């Protein structure tokens, strides 16, 4: 019995499909090869969780009075005063109401070794340099995102109201997991000379320790950025080296 032949048209269609399939496979390989050679700079993903625990006590990580810049004699605040100072530095304060509500700063969790604060004061300039160390389980990116969405908020406390405006600025390069810089003003509704609070804050995070160094004044003078950055770098290096 002779072999049954395959029509030429069927053969051509099968061959066409095979060629097309091969072309698609080659195209996929070429595209994959191109993808592996795309030029540009790799960008590290922002942290979504805190994974490192700094074991040193916060009080031990505060810079000593001798490490504060000249003109800023410093003291370490007791726990109750430290909590009050932390509230003043975020422009909100303990017990205040905030609008929009989602813009309220996160509260420091209670317990020992959760907060440590040292303050240096320049009486002549009516200005302070404050170092605030806090324990946190939140990465710094969450604060950055909140600030971007809450540039202008209303704060009410004990019958007084104010407007708090916060802007992100360029943070200096330091040895930390993340860093940011803020410029903040607190304008009370009942104003007057010397009542507007101005703050420049540099913030960094090393593991579960958040470092905030703030220059605060009640004048229109430019902040002492040299002293601020010097103290910030000193504090970050102490925490990073722990």
Which domains are assigned to the chain? 58-240 (3.40.1000)
Residue 214 pLDDT? 97
Q: Would you say the pTM of this structure is higher than 0.85?
A: no
Contact 136, 210 (CB under 8 A): yes
In the block, tokens 């017990």 appear at 95
Query: pLDDT 10s digit of each residue in the chain, 242 long?
Result: 444 444 444 444 443 444 344 443 433 333 344 443 433 333 334 556 787 899 999 999 999 999 999 999 999 999 889 988 888 888 888 788 999 999 998 877 767 899 999 999 999 999 999 999 999 999 999 999 999 999 999 999 888 899 999 999 999 999 999 999 999 999 999 876 668 999 999 999 999 999 999 999 988 788 999 999 999 999 999 999 98
Distance CA 186, CA 184 (A): 7
Q: List, for residues 121-135, the tens digit of each pLDDT value.
A: 999 999 999 999 999
Copy the structure tokens of residue 33: 């090869």
CB-neighbour burial class of residue 58 (10 A; exposed 0-12, middle 13-18, buried 19+) = buried
Cis peptide before 100 (omega within 30 of 0): yes
Specify the DSSP class assigned to residue 209: E
């Amino acid at each position: 019995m002779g072999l049954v032949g395959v029509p030429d048209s069927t053969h051509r269609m099968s061959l066409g499909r095979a060629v097309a399939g091969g072309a698609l496979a080659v195209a996929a390989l070429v595209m994959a090869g191109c993808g592996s050679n795309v030029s540009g700079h790799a960008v590290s993903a922002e942290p979504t969780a805190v994974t490192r625990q700094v074991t040193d006590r916060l009080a031990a990580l505060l810079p000593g009075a001798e490490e504060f810049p000249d003109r800023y004699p410093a003291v370490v605040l007791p726990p109750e005063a430290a909590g009050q100072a932390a509230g003043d530095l975020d422009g909100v304060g303990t017990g205040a109401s905030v609008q929009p509500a989602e813009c309220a700063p996160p509260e420091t969790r209670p317990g020992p070794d959760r907060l440590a604060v040292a303050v240096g004061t320049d009486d002549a300039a009516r200005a302070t340099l404050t170092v605030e160390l806090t324990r946190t389980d939140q990465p710094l990116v969450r604060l950055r995102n909140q600030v971007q969405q809450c540039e202008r908020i209303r704060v009410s406390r004990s019958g007084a109201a104010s407007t708090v405006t916060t802007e992100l600025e360029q943070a200096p390069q330091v040895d930390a997991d993340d860093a940011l810089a803020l410029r903040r003003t607190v304008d009370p509704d009942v104003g007057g000379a010397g009542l507007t609070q101005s703050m420049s804050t540099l913030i960094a995070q090393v593991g579960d320790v958040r470092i905030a160094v703030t220059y605060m004044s009640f004048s229109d003078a430019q902040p002492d950025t040299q002293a601020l950055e010097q103290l910030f770098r000193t504090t970050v290096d102490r925490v990073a080296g722990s």
